[in-house]
Amino acid sequence: MPDKPERVDADQIPDWTDRSHTGLTRWWQTMAARQLAFHPDDPPEVVFNFIDGEPLFTPAACARLRALLADMAAEHGTAVYQVAEQEVLAALGRQLLESR
C-alpha cells in the first residue's frame, strides 16, 4: 500500500499575482502540474486524494483556495471554467505521454 499522502497546506497553493487572463492560465497550469486542480464549483473541502480518501487540502489551504477562486470569478467570470478545463486536460495529456 502506498504511503499516506501529506495534506496540501496554504503555503503550497500558488499565488495569483498576475490577474490577467494569462496569469489565470498560468495559475491553473501550475495547479494541474502539481495534480492539485479541481472543478471550480467544488468546495476545496470536498476534494479528496485517491490513495486514502482523506481530504486533499488543509483547512487553511481551503480558505486560501476559496478566496482565490472568488477573486478569479469576480475578475474573469465563466472564463475560469474554460481555463481550468483546458489546463487540466492538457496536464492529463502530458502525463499520459510521459507514462508511455
Per-residue pLDDT, averaged over 90-94, amounts to 78
Render the burial of 84-94: b for 16+ CB within 10 Å, e for the rest: beebbeebeee
pLDDT in tens, 44-82: 999 998 888 899 999 999 999 999 999 999 999 999 999
- Give the model's pLDDT for residue 94: 66
Question: Any idea where the domains of the chain sit in the sequence?
Answer: 10-99
| Cell numbers linked to 100 | 508511455
pLDDT in tens, 3-34: 677 899 999 999 999 999 999 999 999 999 89
From the list 48, 33, 42, 41, the residue with the least C-alpha distance to 87 is 33
- Give the model's pLDDT for residue 51: 85
43 pLDDT above the threshold of 60: yes
The model's confidence at residue 96, banded by pLDDT at 50, 70 and 90, is: low
